[in-house]
């Protein structure tokens, strides 16, 4: 039979603007498509000819017989047509299917309102009411309660129908991977009171499809059985017919079946035995064609109209915009762009991007931009309400850039470009744009992700300028009404890496950086903050712990008038009992008023008053890809321009001036006497050019099981004086991440800053004191004039005879060799301490010993504002062993200064980031091979010998605290294995008899261990000794082959070389195998490349332009 498709306009004639018509002869595989060239942003919707004909014939054949489910993944053309209708606002075209000479437009579909859900069983936290709200928690039945269960749904109004009516059921599973329904059945009722005991009529399905590729089979008892592929998330679409003239409710039965895991009723197969067979149903919807109901249609449409009108009133705008894109692939809040440092092929962004415009009053939606293989994010309306600024990654490209587009979908304009990601833009009052960018050329210090920080450009995307020198990520800048920019800043200087991602402000020119809320106390990630119109408050997402993907968190309002440290001034929004489960999973709050907020959660957009009244505005259709989510809701309307802030910087300069009123004024300064602090040590946190690990190693001895230590190298910049009244006036380098250590008259630390500051070129700023409350003003002074203000600013005095970045093997180990090895080597191990420079698996034995025995105090990246003299040289026992009090050991002034400054700068092991991800060998009894991510080479360890000869006494955890807290693991390899001299390994010497050259430490009171064998090795001929020695010698050969940063012939990782080429530090033609390389000089050249370079007067004009408007 000849079948064909024709595209017509509503005027009944072919569209003159031009259509693309694809008509194929093959009914089974060819597709029909439509693309209107006037609607550039519209997608191309396609469907097979068989689908189209089946759709029409199904409507025309009331007596259609029951048939098996359609092929896996088959999708109805009706959904595509419905989507096309909303996507073509200008052409207003519809697709007509011509079958047997009759032209029929697609029927309008009405959603049937449901209420009053009742069940025979539901799990705690997985309430059946969730399925009506499209809530990701959903409804679940645990297999321990298996057997058949049911849920009943009452219609919002009784439906009086005429003739035989087609019903379409949509069952979505989007909560937990693999938790899809296995077997179910659908029924309808006409009873006045709907419930489990009602009289039910089973529906005979005419089709059943799976969006995820499962096979749905319609069985003889009218139930549907899922088989074949079990995708992570799936959506079932079931069509059935009924001849009932009145419908008051629907029933969903979930049924056990022998083919399902543990008989079902779900398909979960990944859980532990006894708990399989679960499911989580997140949405249950029923649709019917319009025009088949008697009288109900008017009521239904009127109810929908009233609901939409009420929603529009709550939003305060007729339309909103939002984006749709794939859910983030990584769990970290910042890992949604770029790729892994160790593998550029491992992308952190997903496919799918749409910029959408929704009419809240009518429900009509327009796609302003659709790129299924690209990405769209972070829209913001211009002040005039006529264009949208957003970030867009085009299909086939790897980077996001800034774009603008008119609100009608025309005039798409690219603003920025280059091999960088530019995201989260915000308009500034002067016409410029603030955004976050990877142009900072560094990687997260505790991970393999790119860093992005604050940048600014003009309205054309030119004159791009760095605003921040942060070595870690910054997020979501947004204007405050007073002209400052509110944003999220992540930092960790001498403290925990996962607890300080809080709210800060900065002026549009980058000056006046100040904490807004948080930073003094450990907390969650505070992100996506925006001011609430008509109030002093802001709303933000409080993302739990170290943050969640897509910034998901608890929507929270904080009043900053309580000060940045007052947690009682932060209150979560009340989403109401029905939607309370969304808290912790919601994101992108947009305040409309003090009692009205837009936000997104998974596949829905909501509006809430924050006091319990929450309503959904939009839900992605079931046909949308399973991983797509809705994000970034914003009202489509003009908005008020914030006030301008005059520029306070001068780009022609390279320094800033800073006046501190009183270093003694601050919190946690108990015990510090006035006049005790004589100078400030200025340090700089250094950015990482490449990184591979989530732990501190090999910078410091951090990572499991030995947590703690700095993740970054710190440069020693120099010192500035402090006046007797506690004031200091200094000239500091601009756009560098600086932090201070208060020193006494002996240059010993008194108090550390534990945060960092960034100053702009030419900026003149000041502070009240050291960690003072931000609501404090300067204290009353006996003399009205601050002493430091009576003179010119002090320039930093460099510290002579000490490298600015200290390297332990190069700079500290020679001092230990000279003064310490006579008592603390393998042959004379006084106090059980070994300070030899012999190499262990990751570190030298001297470095590992000083760390394990806590000879330097670096706080082990603990929390908060530490008390005076609790970190640094003043708290480090090692410093008390250098002046003759410890066995008459007396270092020269230069040597003592070297050790002191090594401690103050973080006590790192290497002095180069080229050490990262290399030179590490781990003896392992099972996971042998190369960890290409961390760069660890694992070699075989005879674990059975350790179990047989060692673990009878050294079972974990140890009963005796052999080492200080956090280092008590017997399995700590850094002290057990010597890869320079394998025969000197402690794991061999400790159990070896003294007469054989060992320490003979491993024996019980009886001389035997509980197994009855001798506790140690009598001589080196012991077979187990020889096996262990051979394993350590193998590890030694491996290290000599791969080499560590302090070994002759060392070559850094290829990724380090790649990034240095990308940054222009190494020439493109550099051969990493043969060309000479000095990694210390290379790092220095990289860090200098990040420094501010003076700009021209023309560039300064770009900064100042427009603030007077």
The tally of CA atoms less than 13 A away on the side-chain side of residue 917 is 26
Best CA proximity match to 542, nearest among 490, 498, 480, 586: 586
Question: Any idea what DSSP says for residue 421?
Answer: -
**CA 354 to chain centroid:** 21
pLDDT of residue 160: 84
| DSSP symbol at 809 | I
502 vs 34, more confident: 502
Using the predicted structure, report yes or no on whether residue 654 has a pLDDT greater than 60: yes
Residue 215 main-chain phi, psi, to 5 deg: -100, 120
Question: Residue length, the chain?
Answer: 1109
CB 457 within 8 Å of CB 448: no
Decide if pLDDT at 35 tops 50: no
Cα angle: 218, vertex 221, 223; to 5 degrees: 45
- pLDDT band, residue 965 (cuts 50/70/90): very low
Amino acid 768: pLDDT: 87
Tokens describing residue 826: 């393998």
Structure confidence at residue 292 (pLDDT): 63
pLDDT greater than 70 at residue 207: yes
Other beta carbons less than 10 A from residue 1054's beta carbon: 12
* Mean pLDDT on 294-300: 60
Residue 87: pLDDT band with limits 50, 70, 90: very low
All CATH 2.60.120.260 domain ranges in the chain, comma separated? 109-293
| Residue indicated by tokens 């809701």 | 633
pLDDT band for 253, please (50, 70, 90 cuts): very high
Q: What is the mean pLDDT of residues 43-58?
A: 36
More confident position, 21 or 119? 119
CB-based contacts of 746: which residues, under 8 Å, 6+ apart?
none
What separation in angstroms does the CA of 277 have from each of 228, 231, 263, 661? 15, 14, 7, 67
Are residues 293 and 408 in contact, defined by beta-carbon separation less than 8 angstroms?
no
Q: What is the mean pLDDT of residues 246-256?
A: 94
Report the C-alpha gap between 402 and 435 in whole angstroms.
Answer: 9
Cβ count within 10 A of residue 351 = 17
What is the per-residue pLDDT across 130-139, written as a single tens digit (0 to 9) for each?
888 777 788 9
Residues 6 or more apart whose CB falls under 8 angstroms from that of 653 comprise: 734, 761, 762, 1094
Mean confidence (pLDDT) of the chain: 84
**CA separation for the pair 907, 902 (Å, rounded):** 5
List pLDDT tens digits, range 505-547.
999 999 999 999 998 888 999 999 999 999 999 999 999 999 9
CA distances from 279 to 127, 309, 819 (A): 13, 36, 68
Could you tell me the two tokens for 448?
Answer: 């393999």
Please give the pLDDT value at position 961.
35
- Report CA-CA distances (Å) from 475 to 334, 528, 588, 609, 842: 8, 8, 12, 26, 34
Between these two residues, 579 and 53, which has the higher pLDDT value? 579
> Is there a contact between 774 and 563 (Cβ–Cβ < 8 Å)?
yes
Q: Which tokens sit at 620?
A: 């992605």
Residue 1039 has pLDDT above 50, yes or no: yes
607 contacts: CB under 8 Å, gap ≥ 6: 311, 314, 315, 592, 596, 597, 598, 614, 615, 617
Tell me whether strands 102-104 and 114-119 are parallel, antiparallel or unpaired.
unpaired
pLDDT for the residue numbered 41: 37
What are the pLDDT digits (tens) for 408-461? Answer: 999 999 999 999 999 999 999 999 999 999 999 999 999 999 999 999 999 999
Question: Which 8-state DSSP code applies to residue 439?
Answer: G
Residue from 59, 54, 50 nearest 289 by CA: 59
Categorize the per-residue pLDDT at 962 as very low, low, confident or very high, splitting at 50, 70 and 90. Answer: very low
Identify the helix (H) or strand (E) that includes residue 297: helix 296-315
Could you tell me the two tokens for 915? 């050490």
Burial track 231-252 (b if 16+ CB lie within 10 A, e otherwise): bebbbbbbbbbbebebbbbbbb
- CATH number for the 109-293 domain, one of 3.40.980.10, 3.50.50.60, 2.60.120.260, 3.30.300.10? 2.60.120.260
Residues 1068-1090: tens digit of each pLDDT: 999 999 999 999 999 999 999 99
Q: What is the pLDDT of residues 977-1017, one digit of tens each?
A: 999 999 999 999 999 999 999 998 886 545 454 444 455 89
Contact 744, 676 (CB under 8 A): yes
pLDDT (tens digit per residue) in 772-789? 776 666 666 666 789 999
Q: Residue 1104 above 50 pLDDT?
A: no
| Average pLDDT rounded to a whole number, residues 200-219 | 95
**8-17: pLDDT as tens digits:** 233 333 333 3
Name the residue among 459, 487, 458, 494 with its Cα closest to residue 473.
487
In order of 515, 647, 654, 849, the CA distances from 512 in angstroms are 10, 11, 17, 43
CA angle 496, 497, 502 (to 5 degrees): 95
How much is the average pLDDT of 564-576? 93
Average pLDDT, stretch 481-510? 94
The mean pLDDT of 117-129, rounded to a whole number, is 85
Cα–Cα distance measured from residue 882 to residue 896, given in angstroms and rounded to the nearest whole number: 7
Would you say residue 3 has pLDDT above 70? no
pLDDT above 80 (res 883): yes
Residue 310: pLDDT band (50, 70, 90) is confident
Instruction: Determine whether 15 is exposed, middle or buried from the number of CB atoms within 10 Å of its CB (0-12, 13-18, 19+).
Output: middle
Rounded to an integer, the average pLDDT of 824-836 is 91
- Give dist(CA 209, CA 226) in Å, integer: 10
Least confident of 48-57, 622-631, 758-767, 823-832: 48-57
| Model pLDDT for residues 169-195, shown as the tens digit of each residue | 999 998 888 899 999 999 999 998 787
Distance (Å) of CA 854 to CA 860, 960, 968: 10, 18, 13
**Cα–Cα distance between 489 and 294 in angstroms, integer?**
59
Helices 49-60 and 77-87 cross at an angle (nearest 10°) of 100
| Residue 815, φ and ψ in degrees, nearest 5 | -70, -40
Position 291 scores a pLDDT of 66
Q: Using CA atoms, how far apart are residues 382 and 634, in angstroms rounded to an integer?
A: 11
Containing 81, the helix (H) or strand (E) segment is helix 77-87
Query: Whose CA is closest to 241, among 265, 222, 228, 267?
Result: 222
Mean pLDDT of 696-715: 79
d(CA 900, CA 856): 10
Pairing relation of β-strands 283-289 and 109-111?
antiparallel
pLDDT for the residue numbered 703: 54
> What is the pLDDT confidence band of residue 146, given thresholds at 50, 70 and 90?
low
Instruction: Please give the full DSSP string across 885-923, using - where no structure is assigned.
Output: TTTT-B--HHHHHHHHHHHHTT--S-SSGGGTT-SEEEE
Distance between CA atoms of 590 and 305, rounded to whole angstroms? Answer: 24
Higher pLDDT, 318 or 965: 318
According to CATH, what is the number of the domain 317-368+382-394+421-635? 2.120.10.30
Backbone angles phi, psi at 383, to 5 degrees: -60, -35
Q: Write down the pLDDT at residue 295.
A: 59
SS (H, E, C) 170-196: EEEECCCCCCCECEEEEEEECCCCCCC
Residue 19, pLDDT > 70, answer no
Pick 916 or 274 by higher pLDDT.
916
Q: What is the pTM of this model?
A: 0.76
**pLDDT of res. 66:** 38
**Res 2: pLDDT:** 31
- DSSP-derived secondary structure letter, 562: G
- The contacts of residue 893 (CB under 8 Å, 6+ apart) are none
Instruction: Report residue 927's pLDDT band, with 50, 70 and 90 as the boundaries.
Output: low
The reply to whether omega before 705 is within 30° of 0 (cis) is yes
Which residues of the chain form CATH 2.120.10.30? 317-368+382-394+421-635
SS3 605: strand
Greatest C-alpha distance within the chain: 108
The predicted pLDDT at position 781 comes to: 65
pLDDT at site 236 = 97
Residue 50, pLDDT > 50, answer no
* Better-scored residue on pLDDT, 108 or 1023: 1023
Strand pairing of 628-635 and 614-619? unpaired
Rounded to 10 degrees, what is the CA torsion of 98, 99, 105, 108?
-150
Q: What is the per-residue pLDDT for 76?
A: 34
Q: Distance between CA atoms of 1055 and 1058, rounded to whole angstroms?
A: 5
The pLDDT, as a whole number, for residue 309 is 82
Rounded CA-CA distance 399/418 in Å is 8
Please identify which residue in the block is written with the tokens 């009886």: 1006
Q: Is the pLDDT of residue 79 over 80?
A: no
């Amino acid at each position: 039979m000849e079948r064909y498709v024709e595209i017509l306009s509503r005027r009944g004639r072919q569209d003159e603007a031009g259509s693309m018509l694809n008509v194929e002869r093959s009914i089974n595989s060819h597709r029909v498509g439509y693309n209107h060239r006037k609607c550039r942003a519209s997608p191309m919707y396609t469907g097979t000819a068989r689908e189209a004909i089946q759709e029409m014939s199904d409507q025309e054949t009331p007596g259609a017989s029951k048939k098996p489910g359609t092929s896996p993944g088959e999708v109805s053309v009706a959904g595509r047509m419905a989507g096309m209708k909303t996507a073509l606002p200008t052409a207003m075209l519809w697709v007509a299917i011509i079958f047997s000479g009759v032209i029929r437009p697609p029927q309008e579909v009405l959603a049937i309102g449901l209420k009053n859900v009742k069940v025979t069983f539901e799990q705690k936290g997985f309430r059946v009411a969730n399925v009506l709200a499209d809530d990701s928690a959903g409804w679940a039945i645990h297999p321990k309660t298996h057997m058949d269960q049911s849920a009943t749904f009452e219609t919002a109004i009784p439906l009086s129908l005429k003739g035989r009516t087609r019903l379409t059921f949509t069952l979505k599973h989007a909560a937990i991977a693999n938790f899809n329904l296995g077997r179910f059945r659908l029924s309808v009722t006409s009873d006045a009171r709907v419930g489990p005991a009602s009289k039910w009529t089973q529906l005979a399905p005419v089709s059943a499809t799976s969006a995820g590729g499962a096979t749905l089979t319609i069985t003889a008892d009218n139930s549907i059985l899922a088989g074949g592929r079990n995708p992570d998330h799936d959506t079932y679409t079931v069509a059935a017919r009924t001849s009932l003239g009145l419908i008051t409710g629907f029933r969903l039965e979930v049924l056990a079946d022998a083919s399902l895991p543990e008989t079902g009723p779900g398909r979960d197969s990944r859980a532990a035995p006894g708990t399989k067979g679960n499911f989580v149903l997140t949405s249950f919807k029923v649709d019917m064609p319009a025009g088949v109901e008697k009288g109900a249609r008017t009521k239904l449409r009127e109810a929908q109209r009233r609901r939409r009108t009420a929603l529009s009133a709550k939003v305060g705008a007729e339309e909103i915009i939002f984006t749709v894109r794939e859910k983030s692939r990584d769990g970290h809040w910042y890992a949604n762009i770029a790729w892994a440092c160790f593998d550029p092929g491992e992308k952190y962004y997903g496919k799918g991007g749409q910029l959408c415009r929704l009419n809240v009053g009518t429900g009509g939606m327009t796609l302003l931009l659709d790129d299924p293989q690209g990405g769209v994010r972070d829209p913001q309306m211009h002040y005039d309400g006529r264009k949208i600024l957003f970030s867009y990654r085009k299909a086939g490209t790897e980077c996001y850039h800034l774009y603008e587009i008119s609100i009608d979908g025309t005039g798409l304009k690219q603003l920025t470009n280059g091999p960088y990601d530019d995201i989260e833009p915000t308009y500034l009052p002067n016409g410029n744009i603030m955004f976050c960018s990877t142009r900072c050329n560094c990687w997260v210090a505790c991970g393999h992700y790119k860093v992005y920080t604050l940048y600014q450009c003009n309205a054309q995307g030119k004159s791009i300028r760095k605003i921040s020198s942060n070595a870690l990520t910054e997020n979501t800048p947004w204007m405050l009404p007073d002209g400052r920019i509110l944003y999220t800043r992540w930092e960790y200087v001498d403290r925990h890496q996962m607890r300080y991602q809080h709210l800060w402000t900065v002026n549009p020119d980058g000056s006046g950086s100040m904490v807004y809320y948080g930073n003094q106390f450990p907390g969650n990630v505070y992100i996506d903050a925006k001011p609430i119109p008509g109030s002093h408050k802001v709303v933000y997402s409080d993302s739990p712990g170290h943050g969640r993907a897509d910034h998901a968190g608890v929507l929270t309002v904080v009043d900053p008038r309580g000060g940045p440290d007052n947690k009682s001034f932060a209150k979560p929004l009340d989403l109401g009992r029905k939607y309370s489960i969304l808290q912790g999973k919601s994101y992108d709050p947009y305040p409309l008023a003090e009692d009205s907020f837009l936000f997104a959660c998974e596949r829905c957009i909501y509006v809430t008053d924050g006091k319990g009244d929450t309503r959904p505005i939009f839900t992605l259709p079931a046909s949308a890809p399973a991983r797509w989510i809705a994000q970034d809701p914003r009202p489509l309307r003009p908005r008020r321009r914030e006030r301008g802030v005059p520029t306070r910087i001068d780009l022609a300069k390279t320094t800033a001036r800073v006046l501190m009123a009183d270093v003694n004024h601050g919190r946690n300064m108990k015990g510090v006497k006035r006049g005790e602090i004589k100078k400030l040590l200025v340090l700089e946190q250094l950015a990482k050019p490449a990184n591979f690990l989530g732990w501190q190693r090999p910078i410091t001895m951090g990572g499991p099981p030995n947590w703690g230590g700095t993740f970054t190298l710190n440069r020693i910049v120099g010192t500035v004086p402090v006046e007797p009244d506690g004031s200091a006036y200094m000239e500091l380098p601009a756009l560098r991440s600086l932090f201070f250590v208060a020193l006494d008259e002996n240059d010993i630390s008194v108090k550390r800053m534990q945060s960092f500051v960034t100053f702009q070129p030419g900026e003149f700023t000041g502070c009240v004191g050291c960690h003072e409350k931000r609501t404090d003003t300067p204290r009353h002074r006996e003399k009205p004039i601050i002493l430091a203000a009576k003179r010119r600013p002090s320039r930093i005095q460099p510290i002579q005879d000490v490298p600015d970045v200290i390297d332990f093997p190069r700079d500290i180990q020679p001092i230990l060799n000279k003064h310490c090895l006579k008592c603390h080597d393998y042959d004379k191990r006084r106090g059980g301490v070994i300070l030899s420079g012999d190499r262990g698996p990751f570190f030298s034995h001297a470095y590992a010993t000083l760390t394990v025995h806590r000879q330097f105090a670096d706080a082990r990246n603990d929390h908060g504002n530490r008390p005076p003299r609790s970190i640094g040289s003043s708290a480090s026992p090692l410093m008390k062993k250098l002046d003759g009090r410890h066995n008459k050991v007396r270092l020269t002034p230069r040597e003592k200064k070297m050790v002191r400054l090594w401690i103050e700068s973080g006590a790192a092991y290497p002095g180069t980031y080229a050490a990262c991800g290399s030179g590490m060998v781990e003896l392992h009894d099972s996971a042998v091979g190369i960890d290409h991510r961390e760069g660890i080479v694992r070699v075989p360890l005879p674990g059975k010998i350790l179990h047989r000869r060692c673990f009878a006494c050294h079972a974990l955890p140890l009963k005796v605290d052999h080492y200080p807290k956090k280092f008590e693991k017997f399995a700590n390899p850094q002290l057990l294995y010597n890869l320079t001299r394998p025969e000197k390994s402690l794991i061999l010497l400790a159990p070896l008899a003294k007469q054989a050259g060992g320490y003979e430490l491993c024996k019980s009171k009886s001389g035997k261990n509980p197994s009855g064998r001798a506790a140690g090795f009598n001589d080196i001929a012991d077979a187990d000794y020889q096996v262990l020695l051979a394993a350590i010698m193998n590890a030694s050969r491996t290290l000599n082959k791969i080499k560590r940063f302090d070994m002759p012939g060392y070559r850094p990782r290829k990724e380090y070389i790649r990034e240095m080429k990308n940054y222009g530090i190494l020439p493109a033609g550099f051969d990493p195998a043969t060309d000479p390389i000095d990694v210390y000089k290379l790092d220095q050249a990289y860090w200098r490349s990040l420094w501010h370079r003076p700009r021209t007067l023309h560039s300064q004009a770009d900064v100042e332009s427009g603030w007077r408007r």
